Chains A and B, each alone.
Chain A
Amino acid sequence: MPPINIAKLIKRRDFAPVLNRLVAALGASVIIEDHHGKLLLSTADAVRQTGYPVSVAGEIIGWVNGNEQAGAIAALLCHQAESEFEKRTLAAETLNKYKEITLLYEMVEQVTCCLDTKEIARLVIEQAKRVLELSSVAVLLLDKESGLMELVATHGQELDGTRSIRPGVGIAGSVWSSGRAEIVNDVPADPRAAGSARVSSLMCAPLKAKDQVVGVIKLGSAQPVNYSADDLKLFTTLASLAAVAIENASLYEQLQEAFYTTVYTLAETIEKRDPYTGNHTKRVMEYSLAIGRTMGLDQETMTRLQLGAVLHDVGKIGVRDAVLLKESALTDEEFEQIKRHAVYGEEMISGISRLRTAIPGVRQHHEKFDGRGYPDGLSGEQIDITARVISVADSYDAMTTDRPYRKGLTIDEAFAELRKHAGTQFDATVVDAFFASDVMEAYFIANSRKKILDTID
Chain B
Amino acid sequence: MPKVLIVDDEPFIRLLLEQTLEELEDDGVELITADNGETALEIIRAEAPEMVFLDVMMPKMNGFDVCQAVKNDLGLSEVYIVLLTAKGQEFDKQKGIDVGADIYMTKPFNPDQVLAKTREILGMAP
Contact = CB atoms under 8 A, between A and B. Distances in A.
- Real binding pair: yes
Interface of A: 8, 13, 87-88, 91-92, 94-95, 98-99, 101-102, 105-106, 130
In this complex, which of A13, A102, A130 has the most chain B Cβ atoms within 10 angstroms of its Cβ?
A102
Contact of B111 (A13, A88, A99, A105): A99
A23 to B, nearest CB: 23
Nearest to A87: B15
A102 B111 CA distance: 8
Interface string B88-126: 000000000000000000001111100000000000000
Interface residues of B, number: 14
B78 interface: no
Contact of A8 (B18, B20, B25, B112): B25
Nearest to B43: A13
B16 interface: yes
Given A8-B25, A13-B32, A102 B108 contact: yes
A66 B97 CA distance: 56
Interface string B10-50: 00100110111010010000001000000000000000000
A46 B120 CA distance: 44
Contacts of A105: 108
Nearest to A131: B112
B19 A102 contact: no
B15 A102 contact: no
A234 to B, nearest CB: 15
27 contacts: A8-B25, A13-B32, A87-B15, A88-B19, A88-B22, A91-B15, A91-B19, A91-B22, A92-B19, A94-B12, A94-B15, A95-B16, A95-B19, A95-B20, A95-B111, A98-B16, A98-B108, A99-B111, A99-B112, A101-B108, A102-B108, A102-B109, A102-B110, A102-B111, A105-B108, A106-B110, A130-B112
A354 to B, nearest CB: 34
Contacts of A98: 16, 108, 111
Contact of B16 (A88, A91, A130): A91
Given A91-B15, A102-B109, 15 more contacts: A8-B25, A88-B19, A88-B22, A91-B22, A94-B12, A94-B19, A95-B16, A99-B112, A101-B108, A102-B108, A102-B110, A102-B111, A105-B108, A106-B110, A130-B112
B16 A94 contact: yes
A106 B108 CA distance: 10
Contacts of B112: 99, 130
Contacts of A8: 25
A130 B16 CA distance: 18
Nearest to A93: B19
B21 to A, nearest CB: 10
Nearest to B109: A102
The 3 closest A-B pairs by CB, nearest first: A91-B19, A95-B19, A102-B108
A13 B31 CA distance: 10
